Structure 1
Amino acid sequence: MGYANAAFDLLKRSAIPPYPQFYELLYTYATGVNPSLNNRINAVFRSGVSPSTDLAEALYNEFLRSDLNERMSSVSERMHARIESVHDAIDAAMTTANAYSGSLQSATGDLERDLGGDAMRELASRLLFETRRMQDTNRELERKLEASRDDISALQRDLDDVRRESMLDPLTKIANRKSFDDGLADAIEEARQSGVPLCLMLVDIDHFKSFNDSYGHQTGDQVLRLVAMTLKSNIKGKDLAARYGGEEFVAILPSTDLKGAMIVAENIRKAIQAKELLKRSTNEKLGRITASFGVAGFKPSDNASSLIERADQCMYAAKRAGRNRVVSEDELIEITEMPAADVSAA
């Protein structure tokens, strides 16, 4: 309610219509979950420029609107229109070329006969006309092909943007499950061919369901974003952080052995634990987040499923051992021999 009241107050003070998208924009600003959006809006406030409906619409479209399907449809329509235009130009050029070829054949037959001066001039005039028409058609085709080249370059950029967006999790803005599946397949293939080490890290937020039930899904979403940001900021190079599903995250660590992967996982565990949650509206302290980690190394006999399965077993071993810890497959046998604790509220 504190965020809602703040959003409505900003709508009133800015004289922006309380349309749903503008409420969402300022509600998101009030929560502070999108730093880029907040920086932009704060800059507007500092500039002294009066907010307008157009400005609010532009900010909403830039930061919040999920228009992936619309953009895909737009790119498809533009591509179709451009291809049709090129086809029409090619058809016209072929028709003109066929007519020109026919005229040349006819002229060849005429030239084989004795022609008088008037007939020769008429033939030359006709060939000149057909040649100029052919030149005009070719120029038109060149113009359309040139325009198509520019359009196709722009379409390629749009398609690249859409593809990148389609590979991101919309909530956390890190790689989604599809991107992870593709990345893991590539990493396994590279490790198999080159012999370099490869590790997989699986991360699960401890007691997330209880946290979500106690403080609401909005706060739960902020926790997911926080963990995703922490995970992504603590890996580098060719490493890939992704949301695996629900409150589970995963990181692919190419060229990293098990010892190195354990160090990375421990650093991330400490970074997550160091962050204390605060409810902005009431300054109520909600406690700290912790997460359990499982780390497995690639073996020549592995495929994606077996590698994920071992990392998953390690992660659940960390849960059974008391949560908020990192377990590697080297430790798995030792951990699983300990008495199992209840992990139903994981």
Structure 2
Amino acid sequence: MIMQDSYESACQHSEKAHQIFTQHLLAPSPINYSVIYLYVCNRLPALNKEIEQHIAQDKLLTSEFIDQLFHKYIAETNNVESQVLAPFEKSINATMEKLKSQAISDKTMANNLELADRALNQSLANDNNADQAAVQKVLSFLSTNLTDSQSKHESLSKELAKTYQEVNQLKEKLKQSKEEAYLDALTGLLNRRGCDAKLADVTLEDAHCSLAIDIDHFKSINDTFGHFVGDKVIQRIAKVIKSNTSSKDVAVRFGGEEFVVVLTNQSVAQAKMIAETMRKEIHALRLMQRQTQTYLPPISVSIGIAEVNHDHTWKDVFERADKALYQAKETGRNRCVIAETVAA
């Protein structure tokens, strides 16, 4: 688990990270920074071990190597945004504030040098003094170096602004990657991991119902028409499930031909109506195998319904819905069965 740093600690780690960038000729890009920041924090032993083994072989840390470590150790870390990118942003902001302050100071100095130069020019016009001429040369030297410093500060500010944009882009990519990791690739419904994440925000104290859905005789469909057609059947059924649920509900492909739906803030009577609608729409599907122009036999599902009722965990709710599902299977399939309530 990645722990939160204080601002002061984050700045110290950031400074160490920048030293490594310099030593290994690495650009301080968001991905490079994320990996090196965690390395100097010494909180991911496996990551540190790989980096130290790499360095022990007298190898420079390359962007390609860092990218591999990022996807291996960090991309799936839920806290990467708050624990890595946030300190990076703070470091950038702090540096930019210092640059702004320095720019104001440089501008003030430039104005003072210009005033001094004018005064010396006026004095030299009246009295050609060698000391005054020497001072003017010093002023000219300082002015030239100050102009160079201002140019470097401006260039660094632009680079920091660009890096800040890259941080935001990386945040967006991480968000997209996280969302994709929660979805079933075949159906677009949530997978088990996505189910767990969404249910974390749904309290068992409210009125909810769970549906356990299983495609009847699915093995026969796969054996007769092939897995490609089987996948199409799963996709069509998922589409029916999705069309009968809201964004507040939790629709999941639980595995194979099994689906789970949590209908939030719905009574068991309402859940039964929704389940029956799904069942009827699925049974009304008429699917054809295009290659052979052969219609598939009518498709049906069995559905178990369980209302949240004195359950301690979602697992308890799902188990009761699953038992009701098997009752539906045992009593003829293509039907919905409501689970028994749990005694208080």
Instruction: Look up the SS of the partner of 1:201 in the other structure.
Output: strand
Tell me which residue corresponds to 1:57. none
Structure 1 residue 268, shift from structure 2 partner: 0.3
Corresponding residue to 1:309 among 319, 325, 329: 319
* Residue 286 (structure 1) aligned with residue 296 (structure 2): yes
Per-residue CA deviations over 1:27-47 (Å, capped at 9, x if unaligned) read xxxxxxxxxxxxxxxxxxxxx
- Residue 221 of structure 1 is matched in structure 2 by 231
Find out whether 1:231 has 2:241 as its counterpart.
Answer: yes
Task: Give the counterpart of 2:132 among 89, 104, 117.
Answer: 117
Return the offset for 1:224: 0.9
Q: Give the 5 Å matches for 1:119-134.
A: 120-134=135-149
Partner of 1:165: 180
Displacement of 1:124: 2.9
Q: Deviations for 1:154-199, whole angstroms, at most 9, x for unmatched residues?
A: 33333333332222211222222211121122223xx53xxx3122
d(CA) in 1 for partners of 2:341, 2:327: 9
* Aligned match of 1:33: none
Distance in 1 separating the partners of 2:151 and 2:309: 65
SS of residue matched to 1:276:
coil
Match of 1:252 in 2: 262
Which SS does the other structure have where 1:187 is aligned? coil
Deviation string, structure 1 residues 55-109 (Cα, Å, up to 9, x no partner): xxxxxxxxxxxxxx99x96x97xx99xx8xx99xx7xx99xx8xx99xx9xxxxx
Alpha-carbon separation, structure 2, partners of 1:164 and 1:197: 27
CA shift digits 1:278-315 (9 cap, x unpaired): 22233322211111111112235421211111111111
Q: What is aligned with 2:282?
A: 272
Instruction: Kindly state the Cα deviation for residue 245 of structure 1 after the two structures are TM-superposed.
Output: 0.5
Residues 20-99 of structure 1 mapped to structure 2, 5 A cutoff: none
Shift of residue 275 of structure 1? 0.8
Deviation at 1:236, TM superposition (A): 1.7
CA distance in 2, matches of 1:325, 1:184: 26
Shift in Å at residue 270 of structure 1? 0.6
Deviation of 1:235 after TM superposition, in Å, equals 1.2
Counterpart contact for 2:309–2:342, Cα < 8 Å: no
Q: Which residue in the other structure is 1:175 paired with? A: 190
Shift of 1:250: 1.0
Q: Offset at 1:331?
A: 7.8
Normalising by structure 1, we get a TM-score of 0.59
CA contact (8 A) 2:190 2:251 kept: yes
**Corresponding residue for 2:201?**
186
Contact between 1:187 and 1:198, CA under 8 Å: does it hold in 2?
no
Tell me, yes or no, if structure 1 residue 320 matches structure 2 residue 320: no
**How many percent of aligned residue pairs carry the same amino acid?**
33
The alpha carbon displacement at 1:223 in A equals 1.1
Q: Does 1:137 align with 2:152?
A: yes
Unaligned runs of 5+ in 1: 1-68, 105-115, 334-346
For 1:218, give the aligned amino acid: F
Q: Is the 8 A contact 1:317 1:332 kept in 2?
A: no
Task: Report the Cα offset of residue 274 of structure 1.
Answer: 0.8
What is the CA–CA distance in structure 2 between the aligned matches of 1:287 and 1:301, rounded to whole Å?
39
Moved more, 270-279 or 132-141: 132-141
Matched length: 233
Greater CA deviation, 323-332 or 226-235?
323-332
Answer whether contact 1:314 1:332 (CA < 8 A) is retained.
no
Runs of 4+ deviating beyond 4 Å:
none
Equivalent position of 1:261 in the other structure: 271
TM-score of the two chains, using structure 2 as the length reference = 0.59
1:332 and 1:274 map into 2 onto residues whose CA distance is 34
Consecutive unaligned residues in structure 2, runs of 5 or more: 1-66, 76-80, 110-130
Distance 1:298 1:185 in 2: 15
- For 1:285 and 1:319, locate their aligned partners in 2 and report how far apart those are by CA, in whole Å: 24
